[in-house]
Structure 1
Amino acid sequence: MKLFRGVLFVLIFGVSSGYASDSLKLLLGADTRGTDSIYDSKYGDVASVKRYGYEGYIGGKIGIEYFFTKKNAILGFLGMGYANIKLLNKSDSFDLYSGVGTQVGLEYLFNYYSSEKFDFGLVAGVSYFNGYYERTSEYIISNEIFGILGVNTTINSRHRIELSAGIPIYSMGRYSNDVYKNVPVNRRFKNIYYGISYMYFFNL
């Protein structure tokens, strides 16, 4: 909460000082990401079951970016899109669970190189991701918090491509079917996701 208050203060101060007219921007973009995963779950009194699989996401996002100096910025965003999980079953084939993913994130950007047409920067931040997946009568709901590290390039102050990696800080899910309800499902913390995103910026 203190962090968001600090961000709000910076934005309000920037607008009131007149600096934000050049440095406050609206962004629209798209995200993709994927990871290898191992999920641990326990069905009733049965021993813990580990299932290997893949997790993917593609979606759009909207947010605001504010440069409080020429090289330092903060960025907040909301996103929504298509998400899926493929889990290996006992027949050595994959069960596909597909659904909707939503996310919210906060990032810090440092542009270590700038020219008239290009900017190259480093990114660090945190994001929360919620996914809802289903397959016939089976459902998985996941809640994950990631630390974000990445690099990006911005062209003509408008177009940005970002490569990032997300390190799971917290991961918890719930699995349900016709027999079991709300079975805890955990993802191994050693699995990180890799993603690429594109953003277009509008001056505010």
Structure 2
Amino acid sequence: MIIITTPMCEKILKFCQIDDYKVNKNPDLEEGELNILMSEKKSERMSLVLKLNTFNQIKESIEKVGKYSDNPKFLEDIDEKIANIFSNYKIANKWTDDNEKEEFKKFNSKIKVKVYSKFLEDIIKDMGFKIAINNDDTDFIVYPDYLDVDKIAKSEENKENQKNKLIEIPSHSNVSKDPIERTEYRYSLIEEKIQNSY
């Protein structure tokens, strides 16, 4: 099978021990049989669509793509293999350990966060924060770097010191192509800003 992947998904194929593939930002431009791409991309070819915003989504993506591994035994002991992959990273382990994650989520559940993006909403929910419904109820505002910070601050002007509550998170074009590094960086930015405020 000829697999075409976008650059942001390539590392998942490497995790899955897939060596034979092509990389193209626009996979439909390459001759192939299966595209592997992010959920916001569109394709006319048979595709595996991945979400890579949270550690759990990365785990699910490895399981999904692992069916195409060049190693026929790749899916055997898959949980152990995924744990080994995460163990090579700095903070991924604490967010993939169920007990540690529950502790973080318990603390975070008291904090209300307004979110300005679908991919960031996945992260905020996974970290256990409460999604704020209206402006009066917001402890922090998380937004992607492609939005205008001044417009966001103005739209939230009914709260004092709004700038201190804004957390800018880099979008796909300004982060590592390694999904675990990317997720670690985003989680760290949110954690650091919130912890420094308490």
Q: Mark yes or no: TM-score above 0.5.
A: no
Higher relative contact order (CA 8 A, sep 6+): 1
Considering fraction of residues, name the structure with more strand: 1
TM-score range, shorter chain: under 0.3
TM-score for both structures, normalised by structure 2: 0.24
TM-score for both structures, normalised by structure 1: 0.23
Considering fraction of residues, name the structure with more helix: 2
